């Protein structure tokens, strides 16, 4: 049913790259990518995001920030976002994809995942844990 997933955050250097790589690990047969509504285009993943991901066995190596746009959005079956604000921004950019856009934390009582950018190591750890739980909550739903 959902063979391709786009994960979206703000800058596409912290949250969405982590979720993209986790989902790729969990769902190797699916096409999974990430983008940002205000992406730092061409930037590598944030250093702290890389460090925490590596400590959890996930590599963000080779990531490059990508801008979300309507053309990109139409190529995916499901779009997962970090915050309700992202749903609104996506709806403005590409209203036709609103129906396939959901919170990554939807199955965790519609939990939003805060942006750790330029925050403490502990903030990144907390966000990583939330992203991992949210990704795991999608696995069962996507494998049915």
Q: pLDDT per residue over 106-124, tens digit each?
A: 999 999 999 999 999 999 9
- Catalytic position from the list 46, 74, 115, 118: 115
Q: Which listed residue (9, 14, 50, 135) is catalytic?
A: 9
To the query of whether residue 77 is one of the catalytic residues in this protein, the response is: no
DSSP 8-state class, residue 99: G
Per the structure, the complete domain to which residue 66 belongs is given by 4-138
Note if 15 is an active site residue.
Answer: yes
Q: Report the number of distinct structural domains present in the chain.
A: 1
Is-contact 10 115, C-beta < 8 A?
Answer: yes
| Domain contains 98 | yes
Is 93 within 8 Å of 70 (Cβ atoms)?
yes
Confidence band for 140, pLDDT divided at 50, 70 and 90: confident
Catalytic residue among 14, 15, 33, 50: 15
| pTM: predicted TM-score of the whole model, two decimal places | 0.97
Look at residue 144 and tell me if it is in a domain. Answer: no
Domain CATH for 40: 3.40.50.2300
């Amino acid at each position: 049913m959902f063979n391709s997933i786009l994960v979206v955050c703000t800058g596409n250097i912290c949250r969405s790259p982590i979720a993209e790589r986790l989902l790729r690990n969990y769902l190797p047969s699916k096409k999974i990518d990430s983008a940002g509504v205000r992406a730092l285009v061409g930037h590598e993943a944030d250093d702290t995001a890389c460090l925490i991901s590596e400590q959890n066995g996930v590599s963000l190596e080779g990531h490059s920030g990508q801008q979300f746009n309507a053309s990109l959005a139409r190529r995916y079956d499901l779009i997962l976002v970090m915050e309700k604000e992202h749903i609104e921004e996506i709806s403005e950019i590409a209203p036709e994809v609103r129906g396939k856009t959901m919170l990554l934390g939807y199955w965790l009582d519609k939990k939003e995942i805060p942006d750790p950018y330029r925050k403490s190591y502990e903030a990144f750890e907390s966000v990583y844990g939330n992203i991992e739980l949210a990704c795991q909550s999608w696995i069962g739903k996507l494998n049915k």
